[in-house]
A and B are shown apart, each in its own frame.
Chain A
Amino acid sequence: MTRINLTVDGMKVSDDVEPRMLLVQYLREKLGKTGTVIGCDTSNCGACTVHLDGQSVKSCNVLAVQADGSAVTTIEGLAGKDGTLHPVQEAFRECHGLQCGFCTPGMIMQSVDLLNNNPHPSEQEIREGLEGNLCRCTGYHNIVRAVQYASGHLAAAATPTGAAEEVTPA
């Protein structure tokens, strides 16, 4: 067993874990954070995407011991403490950026990462930025719209003049 100390969704945690334990297992089985889901087991689908020190990673492809000393944000830590949805969560709801919803936690976490790096992505850049996330329902159209919507609203929040292009929910 190896001792790990990390911060998950703003909460300090400390545990003895087997070195082979995957970060996604640790989040789900040790911490009960089942909002992060396991989709494919092959590192293809991106459903388990979380942020590790502010960057998106597939948590099935990281060992819990590798996250020692780091800060992890899951889908459960994205909303404000008072329950206010993150603008990207709000956008997925407004634009109905989901069908069955299984890929949604990963899609949202990757969309946040995409917008952190590129606040005004083109449609092509959104599609490429989400290429590591698979939607088995093939509901990509509204997912892309949701990211466009979030991009406009994040920009409007950042610039009071609200110069950003508006995307209305379909």
Chain B
Amino acid sequence: MIPAQFDYVAPTTVEEALAALRQYGDDAKLLAGGQSLLPVLRMRLNAPEWIIDLGRIDSLRGVREDGDAIVIGAMTPHSVVGSDPLVAQHAALVTKAVAELADAQIRHRGTFGGALAHADPAGDLGGPVRALDAEFVIAGANGTRTVSADDFFVDLFETAISEDEILTEVRIPKHTGWGAHHEKMVRVAHQWPICAVAATARVEGGTIADIGIGLANMGNTPLRAGGVEEALRGQPATEDSVRAACARAAEGTSPPSDLNGSADYRNHVVQVMCRRAVMGALEGAGA
């Protein structure tokens, strides 16, 4: 199938794109890398009258260092993020998650900001950005505003980005020296996870000094395993303490039941995967 008819505009600056959004409003859809949107258009699940293509806005691409943060432009392709040395050094959890995201062709086209703005609860990046306390920079008519990862994800496919706004960049506080591990369970290769756990940890003298854990496909938004984090901070970096703490991985979750697994199954398997993810992160942190 092919998409329904639409009109197309490809602005070259964020200001032009915002003006186009104001002009076409509800009838418009922003196109980032298109790896989720184009299938949606082809299957006629959505039929916007206007497509505003952000692909010609050079300022939205690239990875840079800014003080204590790594800044990823919203239109940076996954393959660029996944091979970026700054990201690998300061946000290793992102590198690991991107390596398992979809397949090579999709990673060449799909973008970091596009995937996050799409806010698929089974997306690969929501868990990592929550675990890493990322911030989202959103541009609108009155300039930019910054939203925390905790506030960015509102509901199923819904974020804090308003109809007349555009996500421009994601700022990730440097987690230099933190270990990281992404544990993803899929039915077949290159698909969305049945459940995924993203963990990153800092170890000092055999003790878990700090830890962040994000969950995918365990509710309407990416979640944070706050109970496990709380139980592990200040604890010895041992399998016993991790095993005990990960019994809390399903606290506050509301996973879907579908052909790939029931909610009960997911609430069980998330504990197992959480233990593996945390153990992997601790190992990476030198524990």
Contacts and interface: CB of A to CB of B under 8 A. Distances in A.
Contact of B3 (A20, A42, A68, A131): A20
A65 interface: yes
Interface footprint category on A = 20 to 34
Contacts of B116: none
B142 interface: no
Given A19-B6, A25-B2, A49 B55 contact: no
Contacts, number: 84
A46 B105 CA distance: 8
Given A66-B53, A132-B190, A110 B5 contact: no
A43 B10 contact: no
B8 A19 contact: yes
B154 interface: no
B67 to A, nearest CB: 32
B108 A61 contact: no
B51 interface: yes
Nearest to A42: B39
Interface stretch (A51-59, A94-102, A150-158): A51-59
B109 interface: yes
Q: Which of B5, B35, B106 counts the most A-chain CB atoms under 10 A from its CB?
A: B106
B8 A2 contact: yes
Given A43-B38, A131-B103, A56 B2 contact: no
A145 to B, nearest CB: 19
Contacts of B38: 22, 43, 60-63
Contacts of B39: 42-43, 61
Contacts of A21: 2
B7 interface: yes
Interface in A93-146: 110, 113-114, 128-129, 131-133
A20 B4 contact: yes
Contacts of A114: 104
Interface in A32-90: 41-44, 46, 49, 52, 55-58, 60-63, 65-66, 68
Contacts of B1: 41
A46 B103 contact: yes
B105 A19 contact: no
Nearest to A65: B8
B108 A56 contact: yes
B113 to A, nearest CB: 16
A68 B9 CA distance: 13
B189 interface: yes
A165 interface: no
Contacts of B190: 44, 131-132
Nearest to B39: A43
Contacts of B5: 18, 20
Contacts of B31: 63, 66
B53 A113 contact: no
Contacts of A62: 34, 38, 109
Interface in B1-38: 1-8, 10, 31, 34-35, 38
B2 A19 contact: no
B109 A61 contact: yes
Interface in A1-39: 2, 18-22, 25
Nearest to B42: A41
Contacts of A133: 103
A43 B108 contact: no
Given A63-B38, A66-B55, A56 B3 contact: no
Interface of B: 1-8, 10, 31, 34-35, 38-39, 41-43, 51, 53, 55, 79, 102-106, 108-109, 189-190
- Please list the 3 inter-chain residue pairs (A to B) with the smallest Cβ-Cβ separation, ordered nearest first: A132-B103, A19-B8, A131-B189
5 contacts: A20-B4, A56-B108, A113-B104, A131-B103, A133-B103
